[in-house]
Amino acid sequence: MVLHGFSMTLFAPDDVPARSPASTRRFLYPLVFAVLIGLFTRLLASAPPEGEPPLPTESPSLPLPNPADRILILAPHPDDETLSCGGLIQKALRRGARVRVVEVTSGDAFSVIAHRLYPDEPFSPSLFLRLGEIRMQETRRALSRLGLPSSQVTFLGYPDSGLHRLLSTHWSRPWRATRTQAIRPPYNGAGFRNSLYTGESLLNDLTAILRAERPTVVYYPHPGDFNQDHRSVAAFTLMALNRLNETPGWTAPREASYLIHGGERWPWPAFAMTGAPQRLPLPMRRLPEERWRSLSLDSMESRRKRAAILDHRSQHASLRPAQFLNSFARGTETFSTRTRSRPTPEGAVLLEPAEPVRSPAFDGAADLVQLQVIAGNRWVRIRSRLQARPSPQMRCRLEIRTLEPEGRTRWMSMEGTPADRSADGGSCGLVGNAIVWKIPRERLGNAHAALVSVSVVSGRRPVDRTAWTLWSLSYDKGKRSRANINLPRKSDRVERRQ
């Protein structure tokens, strides 16, 4: 019997005595119950949410790799390369393409797994270093099963759960990793052993890898991923690609991004279904600019990917991480093929996934659905629209990493409520359902582009946030009349604190 990726063989050898009716019922009832549960779960996985029209289950096909391809896969943690690209790696190698995998961290800060593996040991830097060694060895084993030799795998050894610190506050000042207490890669064989834990070092290392590999296609995390390390690797990748795009003689590679942490319904259901395709959450599928593409795996590729996922044994020591990893054992892999390293023109409006945000503080009115950056001669306005009108007391956070000439950059983080008259040197106001930030141009230096992300914050945790997006900040007076149609009208006065 074959049921949507589950295989089951029923047989009765001749030398086995016949079962009694009662024994047969005891045998069949659990079997029938398991089959019904499988059918019901499959129905839930394929059915659209209530009130939504049915949409295609699979995206258009991703172009197959060819022998001339040089594929670079950037993974924030060990196992991300297998979850996202386990089938792609097999197809690419079989078709003669070259594949290089780069692990940015060694996954050495996962305290839940560390406690499961060493329940009687107190947390210490040496314990987490052992965890990092285990996870790197598991990655080599998994990729070897997929056909990739360890010589094509590079571990950079940057701090797990610390990449956002490097992107933001520790650009040139080294950060000491919370778990390992290291300030540079502590592992033998790390790709750049002398690099300090700074954002500048990570950007330089990624740029050097891209320049050496000269890939024809780069796979990296989706910048809208919920995990901060994944989002940060995406941001660093965009900065490195943008830097190289301005270099004479550089041929820009194709780009594809993969989603690992995408919310409650990604991936769904939470177990392996090697015969079923991945199904994107409905809000993601409604964004045509993402250009989602699907890569179909044959039965052998699916089974081998499933076995490679199981090679990450440390992650199966706890039920919840194990269920999550198994959810990526599917019959397809899905990628966004949107080119993100070219800055989005200022004045454009980008859509964000529209999902219900359940927050007792905001009653669902914190769902960011649009982002717009408008560059002027004296001011830069950043307009983020929400699904419903927010409370004036709702806290908002704006994060910016600028790109300036000669590789210079600066970090800016502003937080306030829509009722604030000013927020860390800029203004934050509420116009209809939109939060509008107004930033003096001099605060951005000579930036020609910037990575921008907006968050809605409850306490210290973000309720919703936009993907990191690279925006052009070039001011063109001739285009100002066209951009003005998206600016708030003078009659829509910003609400301010009395």
CA angle 401, 439, 352 (to 5 degrees): 60
Q: Which residues contact residue 233 at a Cβ distance below 8 angstroms, ignoring those fewer than 6 apart?
A: 74, 75, 76, 104, 163, 220, 221
* Domain extents in the chain: 70-336, 349-486
Average pLDDT over residues 110-116: 94
pLDDT of residue 401: 98
CATH class of 70-336: alpha beta
Evaluate if residue 433 carries a pLDDT over 90: no
Q: Contact, 417 vs 457, CB < 8 A?
A: no
Per-residue pLDDT tens digits for 55-112: 344 579 999 999 999 999 999 999 999 999 999 999 999 999 999 999 999 999 999 9
Q: Contact, 274 vs 312, CB < 8 A?
A: no
pLDDT of residue 58: 57
pLDDT of residue 286: 80
Q: Does domain 349-486 have CATH number 3.40.50.9100?
A: no
Q: Which of 173-182, 363-372, 394-403 bottoms out in mean pLDDT, i.e. has the lowest?
A: 363-372
Rounded to 5 degrees, φ, ψ at 434 are: -110, 140
